[in-house]
């Protein structure tokens, strides 16, 4: 049994999903309109007790039915929020007088290297399938967001803080998902059409004049080539006009571009091969050391290279 405590909007915390999937029945509690939860088979609670694996969705954890379920051993899942507010408050403390001297000295430019480093560490955790590291690195990336937002709030000319950042994000997500928040969008039929619709809405929203406006030119070159190719392909760009030449740069660009247009992510594919190569190097060195070989020759590499 599970009691899911939500706000006024029909939004479920992620932690409630396993309980919902295994529930024999899902009931609407206090403050919850069953008609708003069309994506979840919610029914009105009938007094007289509950049996089996049930879920109660409520806005009030102290309502009688919620208390009954909790007394019977039900788990309680709440919509997240408080820890995020606490994280922002900790960041404020670190930047305030009497806080951390190092944190107080940082600005947007000095923090750039850490944002890049933390992002790559998060990618490593994802690729390794390390759940503990994933949780930690997500926190480190969140720290960068909070840090930059706090610095932005201190700007004398154009201040904005984490609330404004979150508010803009909410407006963007709602505006680019009319099929979810505005009663439907005939242009969205599946995940692929949604991706195209997202780009169309972004183009209008940002009043872009070029199909490549907004592409982050500072991203890794393989990812950049793939992104540029993807953008211009949506604008009807013919593949025969991709960069031509026998030099290394043109060859790499075309390979990355064609990979992206073929449905692969060239940056991810290359990283997979690079990480596999790194593992093979370590395995060969380890095997060589076990055999008493410290300085490997070309022939040693061939001998100890993983088959």
Other C-beta atoms lying within 10 Å of the C-beta of residue 175 = 14
Other C-beta atoms lying within 10 Å of the C-beta of residue 66 = 22
Which of 98-107, 152-161, 204-213, 285-294 has the least mean pLDDT? Answer: 204-213
Q: Where are the domains of the chain?
A: 2-78, 82-175, 267-304
Residue-level pLDDT at 19: 81
Residue-level pLDDT at 286: 95
Q: What is the pLDDT of residues 123-170, one digit of tens each?
A: 999 989 999 999 999 999 999 999 999 999 999 899 999 999 989 998
Distance (Å, rounded) from C-alpha 105 to C-alpha 116? Answer: 19
Residue 28 and residue 34 in contact, taking contact as beta carbons nearer than 8 Å: yes
Residue-level pLDDT at 64: 85
Residue, of 42 and 87, whose pLDDT is higher:
87
Q: pLDDT > 90: what percent of the chain?
A: 45
Residue-level pLDDT at 48: 55
Task: For helices 266-290 and 248-261, give the axis angle rounded to 10 degrees.
Answer: 110
CATH number of 82-175: 1.10.287.1080
Q: What share of the chain is helix, strand, coil (3-state, %, to 5)?
A: 55, 5, 35
Task: For helices 112-128 and 266-290, give the axis angle rounded to 10 degrees.
Answer: 70
Instruction: Give the confidence band of 174 by pLDDT, cuts at 50, 70, 90.
Output: confident
Residue-level pLDDT at 293: 93
Q: What is the pLDDT of residues 210-249, one digit of tens each?
A: 888 888 888 889 999 999 999 889 888 999 999 988 899 9
Q: Would the pLDDT of 37 be above 80?
A: no
Which of 81-95, 143-157, 171-185 has the least mean pLDDT? Answer: 171-185
**pTM of this prediction?**
0.62
Integer angstrom CA distances of residue 3 from 68, 73, 261:
10, 10, 46
N-terminal to C-terminal alpha carbon distance within the chain: 51
Three-class DSSP category at 75: strand
Residue-level pLDDT at 204: 66
Residue, of 262 and 176, whose pLDDT is higher:
262
Instruction: Give the confidence band of 97 by pLDDT, cuts at 50, 70, 90.
Output: confident
Residue-level pLDDT at 182: 67
Distance (Å, rounded) from C-alpha 247 to C-alpha 190? Answer: 40
Provide mean pLDDT across the span 294-303: 93
């Amino acid at each position: 049994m599970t009691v899911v405590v939500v706000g006024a909007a029909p939004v479920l915390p992620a932690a409630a999903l396993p309980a919902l999937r295994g529930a024999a029945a899902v009931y609407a509690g206090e403050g919850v309109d069953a008609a708003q939860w069309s994506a979840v088979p919610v029914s009105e609670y009938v007094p007289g007790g509950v049996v089996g694996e049930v879920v109660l969705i409520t806005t009030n954890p102290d309502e009688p039915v919620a208390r009954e379920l909790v007394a019977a051993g039900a788990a309680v899942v709440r919509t997240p929020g408080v820890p995020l507010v606490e994280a922002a408050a900790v960041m404020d403390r670190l930047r305030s007088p009497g806080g951390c001297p190092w944190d107080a000295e940082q600005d947007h430019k000095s923090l750039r290297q850490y944002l890049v480093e933390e992002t790559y560490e998060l990618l490593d955790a994802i690729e390794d399938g390390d759940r503990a590291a994933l949780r930690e690195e997500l926190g480190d990336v969140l720290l960068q967001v909070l840090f930059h937002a706090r610095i932005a709030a201190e700007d004398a000319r154009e201040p904005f803080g984490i609330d404004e950042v979150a508010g803009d994000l909410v407006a963007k997500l709602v505006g680019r998902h009319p099929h979810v928040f505005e009663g439907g969008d005939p242009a969205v039929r599946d995940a692929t059409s949604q991706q195209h619709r997202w780009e169309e809405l972004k183009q209008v929203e940002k009043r872009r004049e070029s199909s490549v406006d907004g592409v982050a030119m500072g991203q890794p070159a393989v990812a950049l080539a793939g992104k540029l190719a993807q953008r211009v392909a949506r604008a009807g760009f013919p593949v025969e006009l991709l960069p031509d030449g026998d030099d290394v740069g043109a060859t790499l660009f075309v390979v990355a571009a064609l990979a992206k247009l073929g449905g692969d992510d060239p940056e991810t594919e290359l990283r997979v091969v690079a990480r596999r190569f790194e593992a093979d190097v370590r395995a060969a060195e380890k095997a060589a050391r076990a055999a008493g070989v410290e300085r490997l020759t070309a022939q040693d590499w061939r001998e100890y290279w993983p088959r």
